[in-house]
Amino acid sequence: MQDKQDKRRAFQEAQQSYQQVYDVYSSIDKTAPDYGTELKHVKQEVNEAYQQIQTALVTASEHQREQLKQFEQDISAIVNEVNSED
């Protein structure tokens, strides 16, 4: 039973981390004076999300694995967009 809860928790943490990346990125104002600080925050969230996803992938079910891979792709797209703006 504990194993199933651990899997679910790892997946939920990855999902929350992904959502944080998306929320922080969506709230960035590219014209704001603190844009550089906001960008650093996005990059920090991205790193944390990648770590959470990698951890969750170790124990993920097939269905969860597909979702986690999609989270990775979405985050990668955000990273590419951010890097192209630098």
- pLDDT tens for each residue of 40-65: 999 999 999 999 999 999 999 999 99
For residues 3 and 56, the answer to whether their CB atoms sit within 8 Å is no
Coil, helix or strand at residue 56 = helix
| CA angle (67 as vertex; 29, 71 as ends), nearest 5 | 25
Instruction: Count how many domains the chain has.
Output: 1
- Among the listed residues 8, 27, 19, 7, the one whose alpha carbon sits nearest the alpha carbon of residue 74: 19
**pLDDT of amino acid 84:** 83
**Average pLDDT of the residues in 6-10:** 91
- Among the listed residues 51, 77, 76, 56, the one whose alpha carbon sits nearest the alpha carbon of residue 67: 56
**pTM for this prediction:** 0.88
Provide the pLDDT confidence category of residue 5 given band limits of 50, 70 and 90.
confident
Domain, as residue range, for 10? 2-85
**Average pLDDT of the residues in 12-35:** 93
**pLDDT of amino acid 11:** 95
